[in-house]
Amino acid sequence: MSSDQIIVIGAGIIGTSVASSLARRGVPVLVIDAGEPLYGTSSANAGHFVPSHVLAFAAPGMVEAGFRSWRNRDGAFALNPSLRRDGVEWLARFAAACTDDNVVKAAPALQGLFDLTRQQLERLIGEGADFDFQSGGLIQVFTDPASLTGARHEIDTMRGLGVEVDELSASELLASEPTLRGVAGGFRLVNDGRLDPALLLAALKAEAIAHGADFITASVRDIQPTSSGINVVTTAGTKSGAQVVVAAGVWTPALVSSLDARLPIIPAKGYSVTVSGVADLPRSPLLLVDQRLAVTAMTRGLRITGRYELTQPGDRSIPPERVSSLIELARPVLNLPTTVTPTDPWTGLRPASPDGLPALGRLASDDRVLVCVGHGMLGTASGPGTGEAVASVICGESLSFDVGVLSPQRFGNVNMRGLGRGFRRSS
């Protein structure tokens, strides 16, 4: 293998997008991934393409919303007791970041990643890739009139940032989505859409391989800088490269801890279930706002996803009540029959940063190592664009937005006890 290759750790949507973007530029790439069982969310998430989501997750009002959810036990937000100390420290940083300044700072970078992603999706479709893509918008559905009224401030903020939004009355919403029941109204995010995330991941991997990238299955044990490059110690031997991109999701902090890097990234667990036997499917991807659920009609069935549970990197449990609660919460709004069959119950760990922005850039301790992590619930929506951004940084190309806003150095000297501990995996 070439010593001037770029080693990418992690073959989720972020790492595979990076590999594809680099390989298409003629850069030799080796991707290392631990394989099954997958811990990320690249294959079984809602599949929403949401360039409308230019407001950082850490925004004014989110602390209060999270506290209400935790107090009411409505399933939208939870804190795993095993993560109590680190969770509290992360929440403190999150609360401090929920400001208008953070929203203003984040919007151009998020929009830049979304724009790059749209370009890549259009390119892939033009080249014949099929990942069940549908444009035409995503609908935020409200069943509580007070909640609908309260959302208008956020919608106005989004419009001020250039997001195209149409308001739908209850009758207009029902005309657009006749399967819905008990709605107060909604908003159509005009330029959003949906896709099958597993098919997109497969298309990107196939493209990377077609342009010369190599993929191996191994667990990463250590990253060791040398005078001539970077060694990555794995269960399949030591691999050498000129630079390393760590895109290992929630395992990234552990992998870079030996390089004197501390990233305040913790897992935010989500759940999904795909339901078969639904005769009347929604025409558009939906966000059931008051139920805190994302709903997507795919060729493989109706996918329902939800929950944001701060937890630990090894947490892969799927309590049966979590799966059943997704269906029961969605049933009255979607008019689901009692005979629907849940298939493929699944859980994954979203890498969550306290300011709602991904960390993308070189480490201060060794600029031959880049991290690409912290996309939270926006991995699919920004993955291919992130690949382009990372490739541009490595290849010295200019970008239309300030990628420095995403620098991992912005976190300063974090001191969260759990960071850098845990299993060393590459996915």
Instruction: Write out pLDDT tens, residues 239-260.
Output: 999 999 999 999 999 999 999 9
pTM of the model: 0.93
Section 6-19 average pLDDT: 97
pLDDT band at 69 (very low <50, low <70, confident <90, very high): confident
- What is the pLDDT, as a whole number, of residue 75? 65
For residue 24, pLDDT beyond 50: yes
Q: Are 28 and 174 in contact (CB under 8 A)?
A: no
Round to whole Å and give the CA distance between 319 and 271: 10
Could you report the per-residue pLDDT of 356-415, keeping only the tens digit for each? 999 999 999 999 999 999 999 999 999 999 999 999 999 999 999 999 999 999 998 655
Smallest Cα–Cα separation from 90: which of 422, 424, 418, 423? 418
- What is the pLDDT, as a whole number, of residue 66? 76
Lowest mean pLDDT among 40-44, 178-182, 217-221, 275-279: 40-44
- What is the pLDDT, as a whole number, of residue 67? 74
CA separation, residue 348 to residues 66, 132, 163, 249, 283 (Å) = 20, 21, 29, 11, 26
- What is the pLDDT, as a whole number, of residue 417? 46
pLDDT band at 427 (very low <50, low <70, confident <90, very high): very low
Residues 6+ apart with CB under 8 A from 75: 69, 292, 306, 307, 322, 325, 329
- What is the pLDDT, as a whole number, of residue 426? 38
pLDDT band at 420 (very low <50, low <70, confident <90, very high): very low
Q: Is 126 exposed, middle or buried (0-12, 13-18, 19+ CB in 10 A)?
A: exposed
For residue 68, pLDDT beyond 90: no
Question: Residue 2 phi/psi, 5° resolution?
Answer: -75, 135
Q: Is 396 helix (H, G, I), strand (E, B) or coil?
A: coil
Round to whole Å and give the CA distance between 199 and 129: 9
Smallest Cα–Cα separation from 157: which of 114, 104, 193, 102? 104
Lowest mean pLDDT among 35-49, 105-119, 149-163, 275-289: 35-49
Q: Are 18 and 209 in contact (CB under 8 A)?
A: no
The rounded radius of gyration (Å) of the Cα atoms in the chain is 21
- What is the pLDDT, as a whole number, of residue 229? 96
For residue 71, pLDDT beyond 80: no
Cα 205–Cα 211–Cα 215 angle in degrees, nearest 5? 45
Q: Which residues pair with 323 in a beta bridge?
A: none
Please, what is the average pLDDT of the chain?
A: 91
Round to whole Å and give the CA distance between 236 and 232: 10
Section 70-77 average pLDDT: 70
Q: Which CATH number fits domain 6-411: 3.30.450.20, 3.50.50.60, 3.30.40.10, 3.30.70.370?
A: 3.50.50.60
- What is the pLDDT, as a whole number, of residue 57? 92
H or E element that contains 295:
strand 293-298
pLDDT band at 33 (very low <50, low <70, confident <90, very high): very high
Could you report the per-residue pLDDT of 137-177, keeping only the tens digit for each? 999 999 999 999 999 999 999 999 999 999 999 999 999 99
Q: Please report, as a single letter, which amino acid is at residue 72.
A: N
Asked if omega into 337 is within 30° of 0 (cis), the reply is no
H or E element that contains 115:
helix 100-126
Section 102-111 average pLDDT: 95
Round to whole Å and give the CA distance between 33 and 398: 29
Spell out the domain ranges in the chain. Answer: 6-411
Cα 216–Cα 126–Cα 110 angle in degrees, nearest 5? 70
For residue 418, pLDDT beyond 90: no
The tokens for 54 are 């230019």
Taking the CA atoms of residue 308, residue 415, residue 255 and residue 311 in that order, the dihedral angle to the nearest 10 degrees is -20
User: Which regions of 74-120 does DSSP assign to beta strands (E)?
Assistant: 77-79
CA separation, residue 405 to residues 84, 110, 332, 413 (Å) = 29, 10, 42, 17
- Percent of the chain at pLDDT above 70? 93
By DSSP bridging, strand 138-142 and strand 341-352 are unpaired
Q: Is 176 helix (H, G, I), strand (E, B) or coil?
A: helix
Q: Are 67 and 295 in contact (CB under 8 A)?
A: no
Question: What helix, strand, coil percent values describe the chain, rounded to 5?
Answer: 35, 25, 35
Round to whole Å and give the CA distance between 201 and 248: 15
Q: Is 81 exposed, middle or buried (0-12, 13-18, 19+ CB in 10 A)?
A: exposed
Could you report the per-residue pLDDT of 300-322, keeping only the tens digit for each? 889 999 999 888 888 888 888 88
Q: How many helices (H) and strands (E) does the chain have?
A: 11, 20
Torsion over CA: 194, 199, 201, 206 (sign): negative
Round to whole Å and give the CA distance between 38 and 425: 10
Section 272-297 average pLDDT: 93
